[in-house]
Chains A and B, each alone.
Chain A
Amino acid sequence: MANERMDKIRNFCIIAHIDHGKSTLADRLLEKTGVYEKREMVEQILDSMELERERGITIKSKAVHMDYKAKDGQAYTLNLIDTPGHVDFTYEVSRALAACEGALLVVDATQGVEAQTLANVYMALEHNLEIIPVINKIDLPSARPDEVRAEIEEIIGLDASEAPLISAKVGLGIDDVLESVVNMMPAPEGDEEAPLQALIFDSFYDNYRGAICFVRIVSGSVRAGMRIRMMNTGACFDVVEVGTRSPGYVPKDELRAGEVGYIAASIKDIHDTRVGDTITDDANPAAEMLPGYRQVTPMVFCGIYPVDGADYENLKDALEKLRLNDASLTFEPETSQALGYGFRCGFLGLLHMEIITMRLEREFDLDLITTAPSVIYKVHRTDGTVLDVDNPSNLPPIGEIEYMEEPFVKASIHTPQEYVGALMETCQNKRGVFKDMVYEGSRVCLHYEMPLSEIIFDFFDQIKSRSRGYASYDYEFFGYQESELVKLDMLLNGDICDALSMIVHKDRAYTRGRSIAEKLKDVIPRQMFEIPIQAAIGGKVIARETVKAMRKDVLAKCYGGDITRKRKLLEKQKEGKKRMRQLGSVQVPSEAFMAVLKMDE
């Protein structure tokens, strides 16, 4: 039941393969609609986090409100919802898409349709979005818009005859894009008079206002003073302010069905603003919540320790600050014999883990040691109880284990045909079970069931390197399955180093043990004594390397009576040693713990 107000609203997102120009186009749209003056613009405003700009990926979803006077003389409200672009954040993306009616599909006029283009299109189609193809970078000499247009029609099956030809970089064709949004995308629908249903598609923590929800009002309306209820968590809050971002806060009297905006309600804990949850009116609640809600749980765990033990409290503060703004980050204190006091942290995936550790190091200036990532293993004990283990050190003795299960995912890999062979081999190596292969024009989608633990190692890197960057993948968790798992220990000078232990499949233990031993041999410097490095499974040594003893480390000169000089040299040497971890009599540099993160078997 469209009405005149909603007729003037368009909610849309931009989807693209990496580097096809998504963020640049977003910037141009904002500039064109006057959200930013050109001179104020920092390149790619939507990716405002330093890390996001640096890596060219979007981590958090955002919504920006634009006012646009179309060629038909009418004033329109355009809401651009930016979405994260990585498999770790698939769920967040799906909620952002659920808040839209349409999507701009940006395709690079020189590269054509790429794997990620397809993956994104499928996701948009799942949410019944009207997809408008846009052909970008037509200013480049190697642009081939006609061929790309044909590709879009052939491979994706979208009518691309009216696709705007643009160059976001030089600002060409931006008006055409805005007109297409207005003319071709459907307006939102929704019953303004019905009880409130607002979909949270993102939230973030504002130091002054508490947790703020980005919402799409599906039905009803919300205004300051209303008592709202989170339908999944049941928590209630009093709305302080509603409005839109443009990009600063622009308060409004109310947000009505079809609109996109923010709700501030003095929410102290971001965990009360779960992405996908439905906000309703506590006094007049909706009968049901919106579909698609999933509680986001961390899938990947690792230990994070300060290099300098004195930084423990700083690390704790930093994690707490990050968690304020990141509901999917979990952490709890843990202790390692090798690394001292630190935290076991949970993440959505490997990228998420990498982003968090990088932010800790950069924004909080911490030196960290990260242990090898782990998943949660379900350990069925002989006494019938089941134990969740996310830290290999907590694995019970073998005698107490009946059997173990590990999480499996359904992985979909989109790739041009020529890399199918190589990628199948990779999946096979990763213990993947082949399920299906679907042809999509000249491309193929491979479906595998794989252990999550294999994906979190270096799957992303391998997929990219074996397809020259053309393949992409996503995965979803589907359940636990029994696996023949063993605990692999690394011994330094005969002592188990708990921070290097890991749980691996029986068949992989030997190769992995050997390759870690080799890496450790390379990163541990020579010391006074020879250091044996061993890999062992249940007390049985499967690989051995040796760091040879240092040959000579003595000052020839005596510097006469100048004792301080000699002392200073020793102090310097001592400082160097301090930067390493002392494990028994062995000094281990921080890199050793990183060395096991990236495996190239």
Chain B
Amino acid sequence: MQVISLYIHIPLCVKKCAYCDFASFAGRMAHRDRYVQAVCREIRAQAAFFGKRSLRSVFFGGGTPTLLTGAQIRAIMDTVRECFVLLPDAEISMEGNPGTLTRDNLKAYRAAGVNRLSLGVQSMDDGLLAAIGRIHTAAQAEEAAAMAREAGFDNLNLDLMYGLPGQSAAQWRETLQKAIALSPEHLSCYSLILEEGTPLYEAVQAGMCAALPCDNIIEEMDGITARLTRENGYAHYEVSNYARPGRTCRHNVVYWECEPYLGVGLGAHSDVDGRRFYNPEDWEAYLEMAESGETARQTEGENRREDRMFERMMMGLRQVQGVDMARFEQDFSVKPEDVWPETLERMTNGGMMEKRGSRLRLTERGMQVMNGVLVELMDEFDSKQQMDG
């Protein structure tokens, strides 16, 4: 049986952030217990179907998992332990909002087995935090980091965002410097993506908030990120992720390497034993499914070998180390060079891609225009299929 990873979605928030389009809801705190019970039920049902697998990582994502009490997290972890085998070095991550953390709940999470905390800091500028609808201040974020250390978290990530409305390069530098001063083991620096339908999107479209920084400023911010992380011992290992040695997020690496994972909770996606499926994003629909002891078998469309090959590239190339070509060949019985001869040659000659040992990766420049590279790969696939068909 394959070793897998487990994702647990907690779709609760105090308030939706202005930029957020993930599945989460404000004002459902009263239903926490019911939700936790439903998740535990789903875990049991999935284990019954897939068997008592070994877990290499567990990830509580959200939403705001830290809106659950220590006891609730413990209840879920107990269920996980009962149904699966946690490998001795399993990474157990949890996302948290600085505005929801206390010494007590941090200690309780740690005691429940959580060994990695990912704090949604986003910015160290109170003005910007308010502008994007965060519920905490910069001081609270710093305090939360200190409390996490106190509670025994020795693996800490800070989530940061840049390219926020009206943000200057200097403001970003300051945020990054303050974050680094907290000495986290891991940093995620996300360039803001304006998602259609979010309040921030509407505000920017309507000119109701400060304008987004122009390309020149974003470029400057990218430069600041690269320099400050390097100078402080964080290695760039994925488009938006930086880690001290040995501290990459093993759960996320599972996604990028296209290793199997099981997702439980509202809207969670799974990819186990070559099957892909996902849960309903609707609150009632999810609870109904989980409480009746059923599991989602709704597949993510046609899952062809060609799609798998492309997705291996799409996910793998996000990593600085790139795609493992030997594993690719082992899994698909064909070399990437034989699947995409033209694009790989053109991209390599054009300085976008390179081979490093058994890995095929994007160069620094290639990483900047990754979408373009991926679209080229898709195109070559399409034209091939047209010729075959």
The answer to whether A561 touches B190, judged by C-beta atoms less than 8 angstroms apart, is no
Q: Output the least CB separation between A510 and chain B (Å).
A: 32
Query: Do A563 and B218 touch across chains, with their CB atoms under 8 A apart?
Result: no
CB-based contact A577/B369 at 8 Å: no
Q: Is the CB of B215 within 8 A of A552?
A: yes
Evaluate contact between B263 and A561: CB separation under 8 angstroms: yes
Contact between chains at A563 and B7 (CB < 8 Å): no
B369-A561 in contact (CB<8A)? no
Name the interface residues of B215-253: CB closer than 8 Å to any CB of A: 215, 218-219, 222, 238-240, 252
User: Which stretch of B35-43, B167-175, B373-381 is in the interface?
Assistant: B373-381
Knowing A550-B369, A550-B372, the reply to whether A563 touches B315 (Cβ < 8 A) is yes
B16 CB–A CB distance under 8 Å: no
The answer, yes or no, to whether B297 is at the interface (CB within 8 Å) is no
Report Cα–Cα, A350/B124, bound state, in Å: 62
For A577, give its contact among B190, B193, B276, B375 (CB under 8 Å).
Answer: B375
List chain B residues, Cβ under 8 A from A574: 375, 378-379
Distance of B350 from chain A, by nearest CB (Å): 6
* Smallest Cβ-Cβ distance to A529: which chain B residue: B350
Interface flags, B176-219, vs A, CB<8A=1, else 0: 00000000000000111100000000000000000000010011
Contact A554 B301 (CB under 8 A): no
Contacting residues, chain A, for B218 (C-beta < 8 A):
551-552
Task: For B371, give its contact among A529, A551, A562, A573 (CB under 8 Å).
Answer: A573
Instruction: Decide if B61 is an interface residue (CB 8 Å cutoff).
Output: yes
Query: Within 8 Å of chain A (Cβ to Cβ): is B257?
Result: no
CB nearest neighbor in B for A550: B369
CB-nearest residue of chain A to B191? A556
Q: Nearest Cβ in chain B — how far from A398, in angstroms?
A: 33
B70-119 contacts to A (CB < 8 Å): none
Asked if A527 contacts B372 (CB within 8 A), the reply is yes
CB distance from A223 to the nearest CB of B (A): 60
A528 vs B376: C-alpha distance when bound (angstroms) = 10
When the two chains form their complex, are residues A557 and B193 in contact, meaning their CB atoms are under 8 A apart?
A: yes
- List CB contacts (< 8 Å) of A533-575 with chain B: 549-558, 560-564, 566-567, 569-571, 573-574
Pick the contact of B368: A529, A553, A561, A569 (CB < 8 A). Answer: A553
The reply to whether the CB of B255 lies closer than 8 angstroms to some CB of chain A is yes
For chain A, which range describes its interface: under 10, 10 to 19, 20 to 34, or 35 or more residues? 20 to 34
Contact B372 A556 (CB under 8 A): no
- Bitwise, B130-171 to A at CB < 8 A (1) or not (0) is 000000000000000000000000000000000000000000
Across the interface, do B255 and A560 meet the contact criterion of CB distance under 8 Å?
A: yes
Task: Count how many pairs of residues, one from A and one from B, have CB atoms less than 8 Å apart in the complex.
Answer: 95
Shortest CB-to-CB span from A494 to chain B, Å, is: 14
Size class of the contact patch on chain B: 35 or more
Q: Tell me, rounded to whole Å, the shortest Cβ–Cβ distance linking B320 to chain A.
A: 13
State which residues 336-389 of B face A: CB under 8 Å. Answer: 346, 350, 352, 367-375, 378-379
Instruction: Find out whether the CB atom of B314 lies under 8 angstroms from the CB atom of A567.
Output: yes
In the complex, the chain A residue whose C-beta lies closest to that of B261 is A561
Interchain CB contact under 8 A, A557 and B240: yes
Residues in A with CB closer than 8 Å to B367 are 554
Bound-state Cα–Cα, A556 to B269, Å: 19
Min Cβ gap A585→B in Å is 7
Give the chain B neighbours of A573 by CB distance below 8 A.
371, 375
B318 within 8 A of A: yes
CB proximity of B387 to chain A, nearest CB, Å? 14
- Supposing A561-B255, A573-B371, A573-B375 touch, asked if A552 and B222 sit within 8 A by C-beta, the answer is yes
Which B residues between 261 and 284 are near A, CB-CB below 8 angstroms? 261, 263, 268-271, 276, 278
Residues of A within 8 Å of B374, CB to CB, are 570
- Chain B residue with Cβ nearest A576: B375
Chain B: which residue is nearest A570 at the CB level? B374
Which residues from B are CB-within-8-Å of A528?
A: 350, 352, 369, 372-373
Residue numbers in B under 8 Å from A556 (CB-CB): 190-193, 239-240
> How far is it, in angstroms, between the C-alpha of A322 and the C-alpha of B139 when the chains are bound?
74
Question: With A527-B372, A561-B261 in contact, is A577–B379 under 8 Å at CB?
Answer: yes
Q: Which residue of A lies closest to B162 (CB)?
A: A556
A585 CA / B368 CA spacing, docked (Å):
18
Over the window 294-328 of chain B, the binary record of Cβ atoms lying under 8 Å from chain A Cβ atoms (1 yes, 0 no) is: 00000011000000000100110010000000000
What is the CB-to-nearest-CB distance from A68 to chain B, in angstroms, rounded to a whole number? 62
Residues of A within 8 A of B7 (CB): 560-561
Residues of A within 8 A of B300 (CB): 563-564
Q: Which of A573-598 contact B (CB under 8 A)?
A: 573-574, 577, 585
- For A553, what are the chain B residues with a Cβ–Cβ distance below 8 Å? 368-372
Please name all residues of chain A whose beta carbon is closer than 8 Å to the beta carbon of B238 when the two chains form the complex: 558
Given A560-B61, A570-B314: A554 touches B371 (CB 8 Å cut-off):
yes
Cβ contact of B369, chosen from A552, A557, A571, cutoff 8 A: A552
Question: Beta-carbon contacts of A461-482 to B below 8 Å, as 1s and 0s?
Answer: 0000000000000000000000
Of B190, B269, B375, the contact of A560 (CB 8 Å cutoff):
B269
Q: B252's contact among A551, A558, A566, by CB below 8 Å, is which?
A: A558
**A529 proximity list for chain B (CB < 8 A):** 350
**Closest CB-CB distance, B262 to chain A, in whole Å?**
9
Taking a contact as CB atoms under 8 Å apart, the answer to whether A557 and B190 are in contact is yes
Residue of A567, A573, A577 with highest tally of chain B CB at under 10 A: A567
Minimum C-beta distance from A581 to chain B (A): 13
Q: Kindly report which residue of chain B lies nearest to residue A577, judged by CB atoms.
A: B375
Among A554, A555, A570, the one with the most B-chain Cβ atoms within 10 Å of its Cβ is: A554
B370 contact set on A, CB distance < 8 A: 553-555
In the bound complex, CA of A554 to CA of B373 (Å)? 10
CB distance from A451 to the nearest CB of B (A): 43
Q: How far is the CB of B214 from chain A (nearest CB, A)?
A: 10
Look across to chain B and name the residue whose beta carbon is closest to the beta carbon of A564: B300
Bound together, the chains give a CA A528 to CA B349 distance in angstroms of 13
Could you tell me the distance between the alpha carbons of A549 and B261 in the complex, rounded to whole angstroms?
A: 38
CA distance A529 to B353 in the complex (A): 13
Taking a contact as CB atoms closer than 8 A, the residue among A551, A557, A561 that contacts B215 in the complex is A551
Q: Which residues of A contact B270 (CB under 8 A)?
A: 561
Which one of A549, A550, A558, A571 has the highest number of Cβ atoms from chain B below 10 Å of its Cβ? Answer: A558
Q: Is the CB of A570 within 8 A of B369?
A: no
Distance from A314 Cβ to chain B, minimum over Cβ atoms (Å): 19
CB distance from A285 to the nearest CB of B (A): 60
Chain A residues lying within 8 Å of B191, measured Cβ to Cβ, are 552, 556
Chain A contacts for B311, CB-based, 8 A: 563, 567
A566 to B270, CA, bound (A): 15
Chain B residues within 8 Å of A, Cβ to Cβ: 7, 61, 190-193, 215, 218-219, 222, 238-240, 252, 255-256, 261, 263, 268-271, 276, 278, 300-301, 311, 314-315, 318, 346, 350, 352, 367-375, 378-379
Other than the given A552-B191, A553-B369, A554-B370, 6 more pairs (CB < 8 A) read A552-B368, A554-B368, A557-B240, A561-B7, A564-B300, A573-B371
Can you give 29 A-B contacts (C-beta < 8 A)? A528-B350, A528-B352, A528-B369, A528-B372, A550-B369, A550-B372, A552-B219, A552-B369, A554-B367, A555-B193, A555-B239, A558-B239, A558-B240, A560-B7, A560-B263, A560-B269, A561-B255, A561-B271, A563-B271, A563-B314, A563-B315, A564-B269, A564-B301, A566-B314, A567-B311, A569-B371, A570-B314, A570-B374, A574-B379
